[in-house]
Structure 1
Amino acid sequence: MDDIAAHILSQLSTVDVERRARGADPMLENRVEALKLYQQQRFARTYADLLASERYRHAARFFLEELYGPGDFSRRDAQFARVVPSVVRLFPRDVVTTVAQLAELHALSERLDSRMGKLHGDASWDRLSYIRAWQACGMAAERQRQIDLTLSIGAALEGYTRKPLLRHALRMMRGPATAAGMLELQQFLETGFDTFREMHGAAEFLRTVREREEALAQALFGQPPADSCPVGDDPLGKLP
């Protein structure tokens, strides 16, 4: 099997393991689902200006719904796992690399969410409990990797907009992708491509996301464990 196909399948297996473990523990599952919803609210607050921007709102919404949202991607993942060899065979290599990054990001996010859910006592999340869970989790390198993967996927999608032949190839893939059971993956890629093309340049958008995410990570891991709810203009004080 192609190495990249094996990598994608390994990441999807990790996602399945995390999902099954939470499914066997309803309390943990509830805590993680509530965490995902809180994180979506956190993103919406952090990027309220981009979500309101005529130029950037669609890209911000794409990040919010496809990369940060609490949505149930189990059907997409199951569909995806069945057709990974077809993905590697049919899609352009650049696109396959992005798909591999997406799978790794998904697996890493699921691991982090499960870890935080185990460290939190109930299904309600607020600013202080979110900070405490991250600090107890103590996975600063993994959080940085999560940021890097998110930005790499965004940069790849932006790069595709400068390759009109690639957009044409994606469009031509609709029929084969649908026949092979890859419709949701096809829609993700096309939506991402079109969303980033609308921006007419994503450098500022991606730089803003990196600056804000890394500032939050540094605030989370660069100080002693929180014993009170932070306020003010620092990144922690701006959490929901």
Structure 2
Amino acid sequence: MQAKHASMLLEQIQRGKAQRLKQEAEAELVSRIPLLRKWQSDRLSATYADLLANKRYRPATAFFLSDLYGPNDFSQRDDDIERLFSTLVKVLPDYLIYTAAYAAELNALSAELDFALLGMLVGELDGRDTITEEAYAEAYRRCDNYSLRKHQIALLKMMGEDLNAIVFKPFIYNTVRMLKIPARLAGFSALQNFLDRGFKAFHHMQGADEFLETIVSRETLILDRIYKSHP
């Protein structure tokens, strides 16, 4: 099973790298990425303002919006994994490889979907300088990738369930915490920091069912409203 998860991790890391190379070849669109990221960040912060204001859910919400579903740059983490892949699969337990693999898939898929969305905004809807809610929704529909957007939400839920399961296993949780110094010395601190942030956030929450249901239901509702032309 570990070999399967390791192969999946490498595949998704290389997928993300391929997307970054594709973006580098399209300078016009790349220059507009910050605009899209800012718009999405504002949208997510507004959608989940209640969770961000809730002491119990705030850390997990912030982690989701920055590390899983948000605009962060994951290239350093992915480059570290690819560079040290043969070592990582030997020293990291399978459950961490599994978690990292699904995180990499979610990040790669999100990058692909967002770049296609940006291309539609800039190329067909005059979204070079500003993005409106109406234009964003129209670009979503024109991209016509509903099933991939549903898969994106499903991956988000899977990641949350995985993190939630791990934090209730003290040995696993403590293993990640103890990897901090070895990870820095070995050159994969970006990966360790990512996992540690996630585990800390979910450990603080002490139960993720309501949180995950809120995220999934809201994102699904927004997606369905967009495709029904009701942004």
Instruction: Tell me what 1:86 maps to.
Output: 87
Instruction: Tell me what 1:175 maps to.
Output: 181
1:196 is aligned to 2:205: no
1:138 is aligned to 2:144: yes
Q: Is the 8 A contact 1:50 1:60 kept in 2?
A: yes
Q: Is the 8 A contact 1:39 1:68 kept in 2?
A: no
**Structure 1: runs of 5 or more not aligned:** 231-235
Instruction: Tell me what 2:98 maps to.
Output: 97
Q: Compare 147-156 and 70-79 and name the one that shifted more.
A: 70-79
Instruction: Tell me what 1:125 maps to.
Output: 131
Amino acid at match of 1:36: R
**Structure 2: runs of 5 or more not aligned:** none
Q: What TM-score, normalized to structure 1? A: 0.87
Instruction: Tell me what 2:13 maps to.
Output: 12
Structure 2 residue corresponding to 1:216, chosen from 189, 204, 222: 222
Instruction: Tell me what 1:55 maps to.
Output: 56
1:184 is aligned to 2:196: no
Instruction: Write the distance in 2 (CA, Å) between the matches of 1:62 and 1:217.
Output: 21
Q: Is the 8 A contact 2:76 2:190 kept in 1?
A: no
The root-mean-square deviation of aligned C-alpha atoms, in Å, is 1.7
Instruction: Write the distance in 2 (CA, Å) between the matches of 1:33 and 1:11.
Output: 24
Amino acid at match of 1:150: L
Instruction: Tell me what 1:233 maps to.
Output: none
Q: What TM-score, normalized to structure 2? A: 0.91
Q: Is the 8 A contact 1:161 1:197 kept in 2?
A: yes
Partner of 1:69, secondary structure, is: coil
Instruction: Write the distance in 1 (CA, Å) between the matches of 2:24 and 2:34.
Output: 11
The number of aligned residues is 225
Amino acid at match of 1:198: H
Instruction: Tell me what 2:162 maps to.
Output: 156
Amino acid at match of 1:165: F
Deviation of 1:196 (Å): 0.6
Instruction: Write the distance in 2 (CA, Å) between the matches of 1:150 and 1:30.
Output: 27
Instruction: Tell me what 1:40 maps to.
Output: 41
Q: 1:3-24: per-residue Cα shift (whole Å, max 9, x none)?
A: 3323222222222222122222
1:72 is aligned to 2:73: yes
Amino acid at match of 1:16: K
Q: Is the 8 A contact 1:158 1:197 kept in 2?
A: yes
Q: Is the 8 A contact 2:9 2:98 kept in 1?
A: no
Deviation of 1:86 (Å): 2.5
Deviation of 1:154 (Å): 1.1
Partner of 2:46, secondary structure, is: helix
Instruction: Write the distance in 2 (CA, Å) between the matches of 1:64 and 1:144.
Output: 17
Instruction: Write the distance in 1 (CA, Å) between the matches of 2:135 and 2:88.
Output: 40
Deviation of 1:39 (Å): 1.3
Deviation of 1:74 (Å): 2.0
Kindly indicate which of the two structures has a greater share of residues assigned to helix.
Answer: 2
Deviation of 1:134 (Å): 0.6
